[in-house]
Amino acid sequence: MKKLQLILLLLLVGISFDIQAQEFDANLQLRPRFEYRNGYKTLIPEGTEATSQISQRSRLNFNYKQDQLSVKLTLQNVRTWGDVGTTATSDKNGVAVFEAWAQYDISEKWSARAGRQVLSYDNQRIMGEIDWLQQGQSHDAIMISFHPKNHQLDMGFAYNSDAENNFQTPYTVGNYKAMQYAWYHTNVDKLGVSLLVLNTGYEYMNNLIDKKLLVDYKQTFGTYLTYKNKKIDGNLSFYGQTGKSADKQVSAWDGAVNFAYSITDSFKAGIGYEYLSGKDMDDTSTVIKSFNPIFGTNHAFNGYMDYFYVGGGHQNSVGLQDANMKFTYNVKKWQFALMPHVFLSAADVVVANKKMDSYLGTEVDFTAGFNFKKDITLTGGYSQMFGTKTLEVLKPGGYAGHTNNWAWLMISVNPRIFTWKK
């Protein structure tokens, strides 16, 4: 707490002595979330009891702008209620830096940003903030943006090490060693067009004899198209993956289409389908055929119970087909959504040389939100997975016959605590 007070004091003192300062504001987010987990992320084993907990994100955001310079600093603490005692002298997770970047606007069309930052594009299928995670997702990177009227081209670069080393040392963080990307977006009337090329390099040791550290690069590329008018809201995406990973060839793809129609001003109905390629269980080749959403906000896709791709789950597996519907209803301060999903494997699930049914199960998600006050929002939801024997193969130890469900309730408080303009 003393560190936060010192940082705020230094920022305020710096502004008071800089006559060119233009804008400064500080805002706070407090987000406690209760969860009841009874088969969340995986089928609960038979005879296992459900669990509940409360997690909380506490964020303090500082935003400063002076002429062509913009600076952002976001500090956060993520905790589970009770992870330290009531008289603890220190916090378990402490205070972490979520964002810390500086941006300089070179001209009206060019800008450059460096530091810890969020990289989020389109529907966040490939690159997103993962805001559902209490800790979120951010990158140490340089980003250059070219944004003339009706066009935007962002180019990003990153290179990672786990310390200031004096000689080559294995990178053990479990992150990419190097990353480069380019994202382009434009609008043609009511059609939005985005193109993405992402190159990620992961370090690995070639063998246990010479222990040479190598970096293999995997490329993810594709397009995201949107169309929207007063009644219709649709999107279409396709991404491919190639290159190498840990000395293995990569050949995978992902395609999705979603369509929604506003029946009334308050009620909207939609239908969607996504195919993420996978690899047959009896395929003996070394080629990686399973698509990896890389840095995507995976919680927003393929069901809220996070059975697939969240936290690395289901990767290098049989892939996924997700046929889904979405019904939303908004009235005054309330928002409701109902989303059923039907899941199938994209590749063959094989057990004892026998091909199993590709049907994995059906998940039903229900969410509700209420805007209590200007800076206070209450959201919650209930989800249930109706799994199959095939899903039990992919989730070893789990029991599909159990009632696998999940419920949550979250309060988000986002007040602006200080603002100053000159």
Q: In angstroms, how far is the first alpha carbon of the chain from the final one?
A: 29
The number of domains in the chain is 1
Which residues of the chain are under the pLDDT cut of 70? 1-21, 208-209
Q: Which tokens sit at 127?
A: 């690159």
pTM, rounded to two decimals: 0.91
Write out the residue range of the structural domain in which residue 147 sits.
2-421
Task: Determine the Cα–Cα distance for residues 62 and 360; give it in Å rounded to an integer.
Answer: 46
* CATH at residue 199: 2.40.160.100
pLDDT the model gives residue 207: 77
DSSP 334-398: EEEEEEEEEEE-SS--EETTEEPPSEEEEEEEEEEEEEEETTEEEEEEEEEEEE-HHHHHHSTT-
pLDDT the model gives residue 11: 53
pLDDT the model gives residue 8: 53
Q: How do residues 304-344 score in pLDDT, each as one tens digit?
A: 999 999 988 888 899 999 999 999 999 999 999 999 999 99
Report which of 63, 66, 40, 62 is spatially closest to residue 53, judged by C-alpha positions. Answer: 40
pLDDT the model gives residue 205: 87
Task: Determine the Cα–Cα distance for residues 139 and 337; give it in Å rounded to an integer.
Answer: 32
Amino acid at 405: N
pLDDT the model gives residue 117: 98
Which long-range contacts (C-beta less than 8 Å, at least 24 apart) are formed by 107-114? 109/146, 109/147, 109/148, 110/144, 110/145, 110/146, 110/147, 111/144, 111/145, 111/147, 112/142, 112/143, 112/144, 112/145, 113/142, 113/143, 113/144, 113/145, 114/141, 114/142, 114/143
Task: Determine the Cα–Cα distance for residues 182 and 295; give it in Å rounded to an integer.
Answer: 14
